[in-house]
Structure 1
Amino acid sequence: MSLYSVIIGSGKYIPDVVVKNEDFLTRSFINERGEKITKPNEEIVRKFQEITDIQERRYLKPELNTSDMGFFAAKEAIESAKIDPETLDYIIVAHNFGDILYNNQKSDLVPALASRVKHHLKIQNPDCVAYDLPFGCPGWVQGVIQANYYIKSGDAKRVLVIGSENLSRIADPHDIDSMIYSDGAGAVVLEAVESAEPVGIICHKTRSDTYTEAHFLKMDISYYPEYEDNTLFMKMNGRKLYEYALNTVPKLVVETINKAGIGIHDIKKVLIHQANAKMDEAIIQRVFKIFGVEGIDSSEIMPMTISKLGNNSVATVPILYDMIMRGEMPDHHIQSGDYLVFASVGAGMNVNAFVYKMP
């Protein structure tokens, strides 16, 4: 018998405020040189939707914050798992910007968001260790990988892993890329299970590329030269990011599947981070091509939420999983014995994945 990490509960929080593409038609878009973009906004928005498939996204209400979303998702996951929160050994919160007030766009990281979530959950157990994990968009996947290490070592029996992000408040309103960003949170509870057969997390792989890639995503001031202050916003080199993802994610996913000792046809679902639908389509096609399979129908294996939820960073993958488990994606179902791949790519640059076998 061996110890394995199994997901016993999941939860999510999707903000109520819906922001449609039409809401950007009155924006004044500026390029990186501080020049007004002369293309009509109708054309900009139409092209944006063609490339990303994003039609709308969700923004957090002004009175709420990142840690609130993390708490809501955590509470739902704990209720789903039917456990006493006092029995948690670790709370890991993946995010990248901390709490950001609606009217003060500066990161608030003290105390850690994990401490705030533990406080909201009213957990008194001092042996429940709470800490944050900033790792770009792959933060939640990496949090699950860390939780697996704790469980496999015998150091933990139950770990709560949360991904919560409020990207709408770090988006430069004059940057076209601001249309990509969204808010949300997802969470799972992992538990140690003894089994003679492999179950739960089977294997994982992570890579970090920083030699020339570290600043493909970075923080910088607004493109608008007359912006009111020096607030830092998320900035990205979209072309470089696209190239990086296509060159690294398929290879890493294939390596992880091979490490699990299974084949591509054993994989029931690929739950992948979503910032650009065309990019994800290219990634999944390349994964199958490496295995000698071409022209697959990705809609059957790769569930997508980007058209309605946008890019909510660390929250994307756990939200996807929770939606499937709750029957909220009618075209996608998973059952005992199915193999899933969880994968992400983002700032760092970081890429990671793990193979999971449904108990």
Structure 2
Amino acid sequence: MTSKIIGVGNYIPPETITNLFFDKHNFINKSGESLKESNAIIASKLKDITGIEERRYARHDQVTSDLGFIAAEAAIENAGIDRETIDYIVFAHNFGDVRFGTVQSDMVPSLASRVKHLLKIKNNYCVAYDVLFGCPGWIEGVIQANAFIKSGMAKRCLVIGAETLSRVSDIHDRDSMIYADGAGAAILEISDEDKGIKSHVSASFTLNEKDYLFFGKSYNNERCPDTKYIKMDGRKIYEFALSNVPDAMKKCLDDSGYQITELNKIIIHQANEKMDEAIVKRFYQLYDSPMPEDVMPMVIKKLGNSSVATIPSLLAMILNDELDSHDINEGDVVLFASVGAGMNINAFVYKF
């Protein structure tokens, strides 16, 4: 017995933010000094490293739970199910609802509870809760949903990943150009078919790596000194990811019983195009195998890094035939993997 995905949905916010949006920003370093390079050069280097040319921002009247609700509605419609039959709603995010123009995070009640309310689900025994696990939050939600289903605690679960990183980024930090908003969701259902989740792995590296991603003050010392924004040590994250994510992916694939030659796609967190390519290449090197050209779909170029939303959004785009160059067919074996704040790593192997 395992669980299979029977419906997917996503929400890509309507506001497209190109790199030109940051042309007038006053980017500052950790010491509070303005960067010497022009913003055009900074944007060009960002594109070369991360692949990002555009990102999406939520409308000013939307918050993270609104985005999650839209993606959830789409997943329910795609699955063709009665929403009252959902046993668990798991909402992965990291910063709660942050309204535009404010700095306070709102997480009470949980975002999952808010989505359940918006979905008008009457079943009191549909349990709604949130997961805070960094960018790997949606995958962790899927792993938890699978555990509920395999244990007999649930037959059907809704797992959502949504974020509005544009609300928690420091406009004086050039890393703010990476972040985006979005949402994705999937419905998982009990299954005794030869489909679904075949293996999974999760890990938390906290002894020395805990603060590679953190909440810190603005680089502008005169701007809201008590307000915190998302911060990261990009170099340490890159090195950590290359050292640890390929090994976790290998463990997950080996546990599944499939061979590297049977793997059709790798859907990895859309964090940084060059980093993701390096991770996947190193993963294939562990098997002394070359990385296939079409194995790793990427949408970061147009959508940026929307944290927990990147993987479920990308999955929905592929399954809904919204990517010309990628598809997933019945019988395909797909490896999902992510890395993020914590520092957390996880993965699962899925047969469609």
- Partner of residue 135, structure 2: 137
- Partner of residue 151, structure 1: 149
SS at match of 2:255: helix
Which range moves more in the overlay, 325-334 or 138-147? 325-334
Tell me if 1:342 matches 2:336.
yes
Corresponding letter in the other structure for 1:21 = N
- Partner of residue 246, structure 1: 242
- Partner of residue 29, structure 2: 31
Tell me if 1:18 matches 2:12.
no
Corresponding letter in the other structure for 1:267 = L
User: Residues 37-88 of structure 1, C-alpha deviation per residue, up to 9 Å, x if partnerless?
Assistant: 1111111111111000000000011101100000000000000000111000
How many Å apart are 1:297 and its aligned residue?
Answer: 3.9
Corresponding letter in the other structure for 1:166 = T
Tell me if 1:286 matches 2:282.
yes
How many Å apart are 1:230 and its aligned residue?
Answer: 1.9
Q: What CA distance in whole angstroms lies between the structure 1 residues aligned with 2:287 and 2:177?
A: 35
Q: What CA distance in whole angstroms lies between the structure 1 residues aligned with 2:4 and 2:241?
A: 28
How many Å apart are 1:228 and its aligned residue?
Answer: 3.6
Map 1:105-124; keep pairs closer than 5 Å: 105-124=103-122
Report the aligned-residue RMSD. Answer: 0.8
Map 1:183-332; keep pairs closer than 5 Å: 183-195=181-193, 198-294=194-290, 296-298=291-293, 300-332=294-326
SS at match of 1:104: coil
Listed as ranges, the gaps of 5+ residues in structure 1 are none
Corresponding letter in the other structure for 1:120 = L
Listed as ranges, the gaps of 5+ residues in structure 2 are none
Q: What CA distance in whole angstroms lies between the structure 2 residues aligned with 1:334 and 1:171?
A: 34
Tell me if 1:164 matches 2:162.
yes
Q: What CA distance in whole angstroms lies between the structure 2 residues aligned with 1:252 and 1:312?
A: 22
- Partner of residue 352, structure 1: 346
Q: What CA distance in whole angstroms lies between the structure 2 residues aligned with 1:303 and 1:105?
A: 34
SS at match of 1:168: helix
Which range moves more in the overlay, 102-111 or 73-82? 102-111
Counting matched residue pairs gives: 352
Which range moves more in the overlay, 305-314 or 222-231? 222-231
Q: State the TM-score, normalizing by the size of structure 1.
A: 0.97
User: Residues 184-215 of structure 1, C-alpha deviation per residue, up to 9 Å, x if partnerless?
Assistant: 000000000123xx420001001100000000
SS at match of 1:101: coil
Q: What CA distance in whole angstroms lies between the structure 1 residues aligned with 2:308 and 2:153?
A: 25
Corresponding letter in the other structure for 1:206 = S
- Partner of residue 87, structure 1: 85
- Partner of residue 100, structure 1: 98
SS at match of 2:335: strand
Q: What CA distance in whole angstroms lies between the structure 1 residues aligned with 2:277 and 2:337?
A: 14
User: Residues 315-345 of structure 1, C-alpha deviation per residue, up to 9 Å, x if partnerless?
Assistant: 0000111000010011111111110011100
Which stretches of structure 1, 4 residues or longer, exceed 6 Å deviation after superposition?
Answer: none
Corresponding letter in the other structure for 1:53 = G
Q: State the TM-score, normalizing by the size of structure 2.
A: 0.99
